[in-house]
Structure 1
Amino acid sequence: MPTLILKTRINAPREKCFDLSRSLDLHTESMKGHKEKAIGGKLTGLIGSGEQVTWQARHFGINFKMTNKITAMKKPFYFVDEMLNGPFKVLHHQHHFTAAGAGTEMTDIFTFRSPMGLIGRIIDSLFLKRYLNRLLTIRNQAIKSVAELP
């Protein structure tokens, strides 16, 4: 199963980074290019443990819906979201926050698998892994930009 690991250094306190990572409003803003918006469950604010959100977005010219749930959380150290319904066979996203000097190291561990067996695995390796890495990088840069504002 493909796994992405991204580390982002942010010059802001861990608690601030943790909360910005749970902000549905910031997520929506960072994914405007894909017309991503919350359409079900928790719609705005900070998503919490046990809460769900259904996203609608456009990727590869196709409209998608995906429902994710926060399945684990220990504030301000980590939280996990997992896809309940959507385009993937598996989607599991761990968000970790470690104090690093006066700032924070934010680590994403993002595991996914496309449906359709062998064809899905080929799609994952040929381009989906790179595409998802770019989406996570865009999201993390948005968190970093807001977190580092004075």
Structure 2
Amino acid sequence: MNVIVVLLAGILIIVFVKYYLVNKQRNRPKRLSKSHLPPQLKTVWDIPGPRILPFLGTKWIFSIYYKINKLHEAYADLNKKYGDIVLEVAPAGIPIVHLFGKDDIEKVLKYPSKYPFRPPTEIIAIYRKSRPDRYASIGIVNEQGEKWHHLRSNLTPHMTSPKIY
């Protein structure tokens, strides 16, 4: 029994040390601003964001620092801490890039891609599915494929028009 505990503890220590060394080598910037975009940014992993933990990604911050029913405050705080472009990592290691600047959002909306894939924010998708009386879909942020394209094509003209409806 003690041998198993020591072995598991050793494996856990090795995983965390290896993770720490990999994270240290990446040397992620602390914050991005439009006035200073370092030329060394080359991959999604160079985008600033909360510390990534093995098996948890960055989702651990929502159980420690933020309340799940106040996600808007969590993302406002992430924007304040890390800038207009923030990296969040799902537990499976899937990178999720959040854009807070209107120019960046506009570039993504105007990018010629008919069906882009974006991992959904699971809790919001589940909530919206549980309330069909209030929500016709899981929303443009979480929808994928043709449903997303339909929502976007109906919404984009209104968002990009100078008219106020």
Does the pair score TM above 0.5?
A: no
Structure whose alpha-carbon radius of gyration is higher: 2
- Is the strand fraction higher in 1 or 2? 1
TM-score with structure 1 setting the length: 0.30
TM-score with structure 2 setting the length: 0.28
Q: Quick one: higher RCO (CA 8 Å, sep 6+), 1 or 2?
A: 1
- Is the helix fraction higher in 1 or 2? 2
